[in-house]
Structure 1
Amino acid sequence: MDPAKPADPHLVEHTLQQDELLRGRFLHVVRDTVRLPDGSQATREYVVHPGAVMVIPLLDDGRLVMERQWRHPIGQVMTEFPAGKLDPGEGELACARRELLEETGYTAREWARAGQLHPVISYATEFIAIWFARGLSRGPAKLDADEFLEVVTATPEELMAGCRDGRITDAKTLVGALWLQQVLSGSWVLDWQAQSSLP
Protein backbone atom coordinates (compact mmCIF):
# COMPACT_ATOMS: atom_id res chain seq x y z
CA MET A 1 0.00 0.00 0.00
CA ASP A 2 1.28 3.46 -0.92
CA PRO A 3 1.72 5.41 2.36
CA ALA A 4 1.15 8.68 0.45
CA LYS A 5 -2.42 7.64 -0.39
CA PRO A 6 -5.19 7.43 2.21
CA ALA A 7 -6.30 3.89 3.05
CA ASP A 8 -9.98 4.65 2.39
CA PRO A 9 -10.18 7.26 -0.39
CA HIS A 10 -13.90 6.63 -0.86
CA LEU A 11 -14.51 7.97 2.69
CA VAL A 12 -12.05 10.88 2.86
CA GLU A 13 -13.25 14.49 3.10
CA HIS A 14 -11.01 17.25 1.72
CA THR A 15 -10.81 20.65 3.42
CA LEU A 16 -11.50 23.55 1.06
CA GLN A 17 -11.54 26.43 3.56
CA GLN A 18 -11.10 26.98 7.28
CA ASP A 19 -12.61 29.80 9.37
CA GLU A 20 -11.76 30.54 12.98
CA LEU A 21 -14.84 30.79 15.20
CA LEU A 22 -13.25 31.20 18.63
CA ARG A 23 -9.79 31.49 20.12
CA GLY A 24 -10.04 31.60 23.89
CA ARG A 25 -7.56 30.93 26.67
CA PHE A 26 -8.38 27.21 26.55
CA LEU A 27 -10.52 26.55 23.46
CA HIS A 28 -9.80 27.09 19.77
CA VAL A 29 -12.81 26.37 17.54
CA VAL A 30 -12.82 26.30 13.74
CA ARG A 31 -15.29 25.63 10.94
CA ASP A 32 -14.03 23.78 7.87
CA THR A 33 -15.80 23.70 4.53
CA VAL A 34 -15.13 20.25 3.11
CA ARG A 35 -15.67 18.40 -0.14
CA LEU A 36 -17.43 15.11 0.54
CA PRO A 37 -16.61 11.84 -1.27
CA ASP A 38 -19.58 12.38 -3.63
CA GLY A 39 -18.34 15.88 -4.61
CA SER A 40 -20.84 17.89 -2.58
CA GLN A 41 -19.84 20.28 0.21
CA ALA A 42 -20.54 20.42 3.94
CA THR A 43 -19.21 22.19 7.04
CA ARG A 44 -17.44 20.67 10.05
CA GLU A 45 -17.09 22.59 13.32
CA TYR A 46 -14.59 21.28 15.86
CA VAL A 47 -12.20 22.10 18.65
CA VAL A 48 -8.48 22.20 17.81
CA HIS A 49 -6.63 20.67 20.77
CA PRO A 50 -2.87 20.15 21.31
CA GLY A 51 -3.33 16.74 22.93
CA ALA A 52 -3.01 15.54 26.48
CA VAL A 53 -1.58 12.80 28.67
CA MET A 54 -3.24 10.59 31.29
CA VAL A 55 -1.21 8.79 33.96
CA ILE A 56 -2.21 5.52 35.63
CA PRO A 57 -0.10 5.65 38.84
CA LEU A 58 0.45 2.31 40.61
CA LEU A 59 1.41 2.29 44.28
CA ASP A 60 3.63 -0.51 45.60
CA ASP A 61 0.68 -2.02 47.51
CA GLY A 62 -1.39 -2.32 44.33
CA ARG A 63 -3.62 0.70 44.90
CA LEU A 64 -4.05 3.42 42.29
CA VAL A 65 -3.58 7.16 42.72
CA MET A 66 -6.63 9.05 41.47
CA GLU A 67 -8.20 12.48 41.77
CA ARG A 68 -11.57 13.96 42.56
CA GLN A 69 -12.31 17.37 41.10
CA TRP A 70 -15.17 19.61 40.05
CA ARG A 71 -15.78 19.62 36.31
CA HIS A 72 -17.72 22.78 35.56
CA PRO A 73 -19.27 21.93 32.15
CA ILE A 74 -21.17 18.96 33.61
CA GLY A 75 -21.57 20.36 37.13
CA GLN A 76 -20.17 17.36 38.98
CA VAL A 77 -17.21 16.20 41.02
CA MET A 78 -15.55 13.50 38.93
CA THR A 79 -13.16 10.72 39.94
CA GLU A 80 -10.43 10.32 37.35
CA PHE A 81 -6.81 9.50 36.69
CA PRO A 82 -4.33 12.41 36.69
CA ALA A 83 -4.15 14.07 33.29
CA GLY A 84 -3.33 17.30 31.58
CA LYS A 85 -2.83 19.16 28.34
CA LEU A 86 0.49 19.22 26.50
CA ASP A 87 2.30 22.55 26.64
CA PRO A 88 3.71 23.91 23.35
CA GLY A 89 6.76 21.85 22.35
CA GLU A 90 6.35 19.47 25.30
CA GLY A 91 6.77 15.72 24.83
CA GLU A 92 4.31 13.19 26.20
CA LEU A 93 6.56 11.83 28.94
CA ALA A 94 7.56 15.31 30.10
CA CYS A 95 3.87 16.19 30.31
CA ALA A 96 3.10 12.96 32.20
CA ARG A 97 5.84 13.64 34.76
CA ARG A 98 4.79 17.26 35.16
CA GLU A 99 1.09 16.53 35.57
CA LEU A 100 1.67 13.69 38.04
CA LEU A 101 3.90 15.89 40.18
CA GLU A 102 1.81 19.06 39.94
CA GLU A 103 -1.55 17.40 40.62
CA THR A 104 -0.62 14.67 43.10
CA GLY A 105 2.91 15.38 44.36
CA TYR A 106 4.10 11.95 43.19
CA THR A 107 7.21 11.14 41.17
CA ALA A 108 7.86 7.72 39.63
CA ARG A 109 10.89 5.45 39.22
CA GLU A 110 9.50 3.69 36.13
CA TRP A 111 7.26 4.66 33.22
CA ALA A 112 5.57 2.77 30.38
CA ARG A 113 3.58 4.13 27.46
CA ALA A 114 0.43 2.10 26.94
CA GLY A 115 -1.38 3.65 23.99
CA GLN A 116 -3.55 6.51 22.86
CA LEU A 117 -7.24 7.36 22.81
CA HIS A 118 -9.36 9.92 20.98
CA PRO A 119 -12.07 10.96 23.47
CA VAL A 120 -14.34 13.03 21.20
CA ILE A 121 -13.72 12.14 17.54
CA SER A 122 -16.86 13.93 16.35
CA TYR A 123 -15.88 17.45 17.46
CA ALA A 124 -12.25 17.68 18.60
CA THR A 125 -8.74 16.88 17.42
CA GLU A 126 -7.80 15.87 20.97
CA PHE A 127 -5.82 12.73 21.65
CA ILE A 128 -4.79 11.46 25.07
CA ALA A 129 -1.61 9.42 25.47
CA ILE A 130 -1.87 6.76 28.20
CA TRP A 131 1.14 6.29 30.49
CA PHE A 132 1.61 3.98 33.47
CA ALA A 133 3.85 5.01 36.39
CA ARG A 134 5.18 2.89 39.27
CA GLY A 135 7.75 3.09 42.03
CA LEU A 136 6.00 6.17 43.36
CA SER A 137 7.33 8.63 45.94
CA ARG A 138 5.14 11.40 47.27
CA GLY A 139 6.02 15.02 47.89
CA PRO A 140 4.00 18.24 47.85
CA ALA A 141 1.63 18.89 44.94
CA LYS A 142 2.08 22.05 42.87
CA LEU A 143 -1.44 22.92 41.77
CA ASP A 144 -2.20 25.90 39.56
CA ALA A 145 -3.76 28.89 41.34
CA ASP A 146 -7.23 28.07 39.93
CA GLU A 147 -6.97 24.28 40.41
CA PHE A 148 -8.63 22.49 43.33
CA LEU A 149 -8.66 18.72 43.63
CA GLU A 150 -8.49 15.90 46.14
CA VAL A 151 -5.95 13.09 45.73
CA VAL A 152 -7.43 9.69 46.61
CA THR A 153 -6.45 6.05 46.24
CA ALA A 154 -8.46 3.07 45.06
CA THR A 155 -7.87 -0.62 44.58
CA PRO A 156 -8.33 -1.97 41.04
CA GLU A 157 -11.50 -3.67 42.32
CA GLU A 158 -12.87 -0.37 43.61
CA LEU A 159 -12.07 1.30 40.29
CA MET A 160 -13.86 -1.42 38.33
CA ALA A 161 -16.87 -1.26 40.66
CA GLY A 162 -17.07 2.50 40.13
CA CYS A 163 -16.95 2.02 36.35
CA ARG A 164 -19.62 -0.67 36.52
CA ASP A 165 -22.10 1.18 38.71
CA GLY A 166 -21.77 4.58 37.06
CA ARG A 167 -19.85 6.49 39.74
CA ILE A 168 -16.94 6.80 37.28
CA THR A 169 -18.05 8.07 33.87
CA ASP A 170 -15.00 10.02 32.68
CA ALA A 171 -14.12 8.59 29.27
CA LYS A 172 -10.33 8.61 29.67
CA THR A 173 -10.58 6.91 33.07
CA LEU A 174 -12.88 4.22 31.65
CA VAL A 175 -10.29 3.53 28.93
CA GLY A 176 -7.58 3.58 31.59
CA ALA A 177 -9.53 0.97 33.54
CA LEU A 178 -9.62 -1.25 30.44
CA TRP A 179 -5.85 -0.94 30.04
CA LEU A 180 -5.28 -1.61 33.73
CA GLN A 181 -7.48 -4.71 33.66
CA GLN A 182 -5.60 -6.14 30.68
CA VAL A 183 -2.16 -5.29 32.10
CA LEU A 184 -2.94 -6.82 35.51
CA SER A 185 -4.26 -9.99 33.83
CA GLY A 186 -1.06 -10.30 31.80
CA SER A 187 -2.91 -10.05 28.49
CA TRP A 188 -1.29 -6.74 27.53
CA VAL A 189 2.40 -6.31 28.37
CA LEU A 190 4.02 -2.94 29.04
CA ASP A 191 7.60 -1.95 28.23
CA TRP A 192 8.67 -0.48 31.57
CA GLN A 193 11.67 1.83 31.58
CA ALA A 194 13.53 3.30 34.50
CA GLN A 195 13.17 7.04 34.98
CA SER A 196 16.97 7.39 34.74
CA SER A 197 17.05 5.78 31.28
CA LEU A 198 14.32 7.95 29.80
CA PRO A 199 14.91 11.28 28.03
Structure 2
Amino acid sequence: MQNSDQCKFVKEEDTATGKWIKLSKITYTDPSGKERIWEAVKRTTKLPGDNPDAVVAIPILRRTLHYDCIVLLKQYRPPVKAYSIEFPAGLLDPNETAETCAQRELKEETGYTGIVKHVSPATSLDPGLGNTTAQLVTVEVDGDLPENQNPKAQLGNFKLLLEGEFIEVLNVPIDDILQKLNDYAAAGVIIDSRVYTYAISMEQTKKMMKGQLNS
Protein backbone atom coordinates (compact mmCIF):
# COMPACT_ATOMS: atom_id res chain seq x y z
CA MET A 1 0.00 0.00 0.00
CA GLN A 2 1.35 3.42 -0.95
CA ASN A 3 1.65 6.19 1.64
CA SER A 4 0.10 9.57 0.90
CA ASP A 5 3.57 11.13 0.81
CA GLN A 6 4.75 9.00 -2.11
CA CYS A 7 4.81 9.77 -5.82
CA LYS A 8 1.98 8.18 -7.79
CA PHE A 9 1.56 7.37 -11.49
CA VAL A 10 -1.47 9.03 -13.10
CA LYS A 11 -1.36 8.39 -16.86
CA GLU A 12 0.86 7.99 -19.90
CA GLU A 13 0.43 9.26 -23.47
CA ASP A 14 2.50 8.52 -26.58
CA THR A 15 3.60 11.70 -28.35
CA ALA A 16 5.79 10.31 -31.15
CA THR A 17 6.50 6.80 -32.48
CA GLY A 18 9.29 5.45 -34.68
CA LYS A 19 10.24 1.95 -35.81
CA TRP A 20 12.15 0.99 -32.65
CA ILE A 21 11.37 3.66 -30.05
CA LYS A 22 8.63 6.04 -29.04
CA LEU A 23 8.41 9.19 -26.91
CA SER A 24 5.90 9.19 -24.08
CA LYS A 25 4.57 11.86 -21.73
CA ILE A 26 4.00 10.56 -18.21
CA THR A 27 1.81 12.34 -15.69
CA TYR A 28 2.42 11.66 -12.00
CA THR A 29 1.87 13.35 -8.64
CA ASP A 30 4.74 14.25 -6.32
CA PRO A 31 4.68 13.67 -2.52
CA SER A 32 2.84 16.96 -2.01
CA GLY A 33 0.11 15.88 -4.43
CA LYS A 34 1.18 18.29 -7.19
CA GLU A 35 0.76 16.93 -10.71
CA ARG A 36 3.95 16.80 -12.79
CA ILE A 37 5.01 15.74 -16.32
CA TRP A 38 7.96 13.52 -17.30
CA GLU A 39 9.14 12.70 -20.82
CA ALA A 40 10.34 9.14 -21.41
CA VAL A 41 11.69 7.01 -24.24
CA LYS A 42 10.17 3.53 -24.65
CA ARG A 43 10.92 0.56 -26.89
CA THR A 44 8.21 -0.35 -29.39
CA THR A 45 9.48 -3.95 -29.16
CA LYS A 46 8.83 -4.27 -25.42
CA LEU A 47 7.44 -7.67 -24.46
CA PRO A 48 4.09 -7.82 -22.65
CA GLY A 49 3.84 -7.92 -18.87
CA ASP A 50 6.85 -7.52 -16.60
CA ASN A 51 9.25 -9.38 -18.88
CA PRO A 52 12.71 -7.79 -19.23
CA ASP A 53 13.55 -6.31 -22.63
CA ALA A 54 17.10 -7.49 -23.04
CA VAL A 55 20.00 -9.55 -21.81
CA VAL A 56 23.56 -8.38 -21.22
CA ALA A 57 26.14 -11.18 -21.32
CA ILE A 58 29.30 -10.96 -19.23
CA PRO A 59 31.57 -13.53 -20.94
CA ILE A 60 34.67 -14.71 -19.09
CA LEU A 61 37.12 -16.49 -21.39
CA ARG A 62 39.34 -19.06 -19.66
CA ARG A 63 42.24 -20.77 -21.46
CA THR A 64 45.14 -22.90 -20.29
CA LEU A 65 48.37 -20.89 -19.92
CA HIS A 66 46.54 -17.63 -20.68
CA TYR A 67 45.20 -14.84 -18.51
CA ASP A 68 41.45 -14.91 -18.00
CA CYS A 69 39.80 -12.39 -20.33
CA ILE A 70 36.54 -10.50 -20.62
CA VAL A 71 35.03 -10.67 -24.09
CA LEU A 72 33.91 -7.21 -25.17
CA LEU A 73 32.56 -5.57 -28.31
CA LYS A 74 33.62 -2.37 -30.01
CA GLN A 75 31.08 -0.83 -32.35
CA TYR A 76 29.98 2.52 -33.70
CA ARG A 77 26.97 4.03 -31.91
CA PRO A 78 25.30 6.85 -33.87
CA PRO A 79 23.59 8.44 -30.79
CA VAL A 80 26.98 9.24 -29.21
CA LYS A 81 28.75 9.79 -32.56
CA ALA A 82 31.60 7.54 -31.49
CA TYR A 83 32.73 3.96 -31.06
CA SER A 84 31.67 2.25 -27.85
CA ILE A 85 33.05 -0.61 -25.75
CA GLU A 86 30.23 -2.87 -24.54
CA PHE A 87 29.31 -6.33 -23.33
CA PRO A 88 27.53 -8.59 -25.87
CA ALA A 89 23.80 -7.94 -25.52
CA GLY A 90 20.49 -8.24 -27.30
CA LEU A 91 16.72 -8.20 -27.06
CA LEU A 92 14.83 -11.20 -25.74
CA ASP A 93 12.62 -13.05 -28.18
CA PRO A 94 9.09 -13.98 -27.05
CA ASN A 95 9.13 -16.95 -24.62
CA GLU A 96 12.95 -16.94 -24.59
CA THR A 97 14.81 -17.34 -21.30
CA ALA A 98 17.63 -15.04 -20.27
CA GLU A 99 20.05 -17.98 -20.35
CA THR A 100 19.14 -18.94 -23.92
CA CYS A 101 19.21 -15.33 -25.09
CA ALA A 102 22.65 -14.71 -23.58
CA GLN A 103 24.12 -17.80 -25.21
CA ARG A 104 22.49 -16.94 -28.54
CA GLU A 105 23.75 -13.35 -28.54
CA LEU A 106 27.22 -14.43 -27.48
CA LYS A 107 27.36 -16.92 -30.35
CA GLU A 108 25.97 -14.47 -32.90
CA GLU A 109 28.18 -11.55 -31.92
CA THR A 110 31.45 -13.25 -30.96
CA GLY A 111 31.28 -16.86 -32.15
CA TYR A 112 31.98 -18.16 -28.65
CA THR A 113 29.88 -20.76 -26.85
CA GLY A 114 29.71 -20.84 -23.08
CA ILE A 115 28.02 -22.07 -19.92
CA VAL A 116 25.75 -19.77 -17.92
CA LYS A 117 27.00 -19.28 -14.36
CA HIS A 118 24.71 -16.57 -12.96
CA VAL A 119 21.57 -14.66 -13.96
CA SER A 120 20.51 -11.41 -12.31
CA PRO A 121 16.96 -10.18 -11.78
CA ALA A 122 15.67 -7.57 -14.21
CA THR A 123 17.70 -4.38 -13.78
CA SER A 124 16.94 -0.89 -15.07
CA LEU A 125 19.31 0.46 -17.72
CA ASP A 126 18.45 4.17 -17.48
CA PRO A 127 15.39 4.80 -15.26
CA GLY A 128 15.56 8.56 -15.72
CA LEU A 129 15.15 8.19 -19.48
CA GLY A 130 13.04 5.11 -20.11
CA ASN A 131 11.68 1.81 -18.85
CA THR A 132 14.11 -0.58 -20.56
CA THR A 133 15.21 -3.45 -18.33
CA ALA A 134 17.84 -6.13 -18.77
CA GLN A 135 19.11 -9.22 -17.03
CA LEU A 136 22.86 -9.60 -16.58
CA VAL A 137 24.07 -13.10 -17.40
CA THR A 138 27.58 -14.29 -16.54
CA VAL A 139 28.81 -16.82 -19.09
CA GLU A 140 32.00 -18.88 -18.78
CA VAL A 141 33.73 -19.66 -22.07
CA ASP A 142 36.13 -22.61 -22.19
CA GLY A 143 38.74 -21.37 -24.64
CA ASP A 144 40.36 -24.81 -24.81
CA LEU A 145 37.35 -26.32 -26.58
CA PRO A 146 37.85 -26.77 -30.34
CA GLU A 147 34.82 -24.60 -31.18
CA ASN A 148 36.28 -21.74 -29.15
CA GLN A 149 39.86 -21.95 -30.47
CA ASN A 150 39.27 -19.54 -33.34
CA PRO A 151 35.54 -18.76 -33.21
CA LYS A 152 35.62 -15.85 -35.60
CA ALA A 153 38.16 -14.97 -38.25
CA GLN A 154 37.17 -11.35 -37.61
CA LEU A 155 38.53 -11.33 -34.03
CA GLY A 156 40.22 -7.95 -33.83
CA ASN A 157 38.59 -6.86 -37.10
CA PHE A 158 35.20 -5.32 -37.79
CA LYS A 159 32.42 -7.61 -38.99
CA LEU A 160 29.02 -6.70 -40.38
CA LEU A 161 26.57 -8.45 -38.07
CA LEU A 162 23.30 -6.75 -38.99
CA GLU A 163 22.43 -4.09 -41.50
CA GLY A 164 24.43 -1.03 -40.43
CA GLU A 165 25.90 -2.77 -37.35
CA PHE A 166 29.66 -3.40 -37.41
CA ILE A 167 31.24 -5.23 -34.47
CA GLU A 168 34.83 -5.84 -33.40
CA VAL A 169 35.45 -8.56 -30.80
CA LEU A 170 37.99 -7.77 -28.06
CA ASN A 171 39.51 -10.20 -25.56
CA VAL A 172 40.74 -8.05 -22.67
CA PRO A 173 42.71 -9.59 -19.75
CA ILE A 174 40.72 -9.11 -16.56
CA ASP A 175 43.80 -7.94 -14.64
CA ASP A 176 44.34 -5.11 -17.13
CA ILE A 177 40.73 -4.21 -17.93
CA LEU A 178 40.57 -0.86 -16.12
CA GLN A 179 43.79 0.42 -17.71
CA LYS A 180 42.71 -0.81 -21.14
CA LEU A 181 39.37 0.97 -20.82
CA ASN A 182 41.08 4.16 -19.72
CA ASP A 183 43.33 3.92 -22.78
CA TYR A 184 40.30 3.53 -25.04
CA ALA A 185 38.57 6.47 -23.36
CA ALA A 186 41.66 8.64 -23.83
CA ALA A 187 41.50 7.78 -27.54
CA GLY A 188 37.91 9.03 -27.75
CA VAL A 189 36.06 5.72 -27.42
CA ILE A 190 32.93 5.74 -25.24
CA ILE A 191 32.89 3.12 -22.46
CA ASP A 192 29.54 1.59 -21.53
CA SER A 193 28.83 2.28 -17.84
CA ARG A 194 28.20 -1.40 -17.11
CA VAL A 195 31.60 -2.35 -18.51
CA TYR A 196 33.39 0.39 -16.57
CA THR A 197 31.57 -0.52 -13.36
CA TYR A 198 32.71 -4.13 -13.82
CA ALA A 199 36.29 -2.94 -14.33
CA ILE A 200 36.20 -0.83 -11.16
CA SER A 201 34.84 -3.80 -9.20
CA MET A 202 37.63 -6.03 -10.50
CA GLU A 203 40.24 -3.43 -9.56
CA GLN A 204 38.82 -3.00 -6.05
CA THR A 205 38.70 -6.78 -5.58
CA LYS A 206 42.32 -7.05 -6.70
CA LYS A 207 43.38 -4.38 -4.20
CA MET A 208 41.45 -6.03 -1.37
CA MET A 209 43.02 -9.42 -2.08
CA LYS A 210 46.48 -7.85 -2.23
CA GLY A 211 45.83 -6.12 1.09
CA GLN A 212 44.78 -9.39 2.70
CA LEU A 213 47.93 -11.12 1.46
CA ASN A 214 50.10 -8.32 2.86
CA SER A 215 48.36 -8.20 6.24
TM range (shorter): 0.7 to 0.9
Residue-by-residue CA offset, 1:69-122 (whole Å, 9 max, x unaligned) = 001111111122111222344322222112111111111134322455423121
Unaligned runs of at least 5 residues, structure 2: 47-52, 153-158, 210-215
Give the alignment's TM-score, normalised by structure 1.
0.76
Is 1:120 paired with 2:142?
no
1:112–1:131 Cα contact (<8 Å) kept: yes
In structure 2, give the amino acid aligned to 1:40.
Answer: K
Query: Which has the larger displacement, 28-37 or 146-155?
Result: 28-37
1:133 Cα deviation after fit: 0.8
1:36 corresponds to 2:36? no
- 1:90/1:21 CA distance change after superposition, 3 Å: farther
Q: Which residue of 1 aligns with 2:176?
A: 158
Q: 2:57 maps to what in 1? A: 55
C-alpha contact (below 8 Å) 2:75/2:167 kept by paired residues: yes
* Count, aligned residues: 181
TM-score relative to the length of structure 2: 0.71
Distance of 1:19 and 1:128 partners within structure 2? 24
Q: 1:173 aligns with which of 170, 176, 195?
A: 195
Query: What amino acid sits opposite 1:25 in the alignment?
Result: K
1:18 to 12, 21, 29: 12
Change (3 A) 1:19 1:110: closer
- Structure 1 stretches lacking a partner, 5+ long: 188-199
Cα RMSD, aligned residues only: 2.9
* 1: CA distance, partners of 2:119 / 2:201: 11
Give the distance between the partners of 2:161 and 2:138, measured in 1 at CA.
21
Residue 156 of structure 2 is aligned to residue 134 of structure 1? no
Cα–Cα, structure 1 residues 135 and 45, in superposed 2: closer, same or farther, change >3 Å?
same
Instruction: Give the match for residue 106 of structure 1.
Output: 112
The 8 Å contact of residues 68 and 151 in structure 1, kept in 2 or not, is answered as yes
Structure of greater Rg: 2
Percent identity for Structure 1 against Structure 2: 25
Tell me what 1:195 maps to.
none
Preserved CA contact (<8 Å) 1:47 1:125: yes
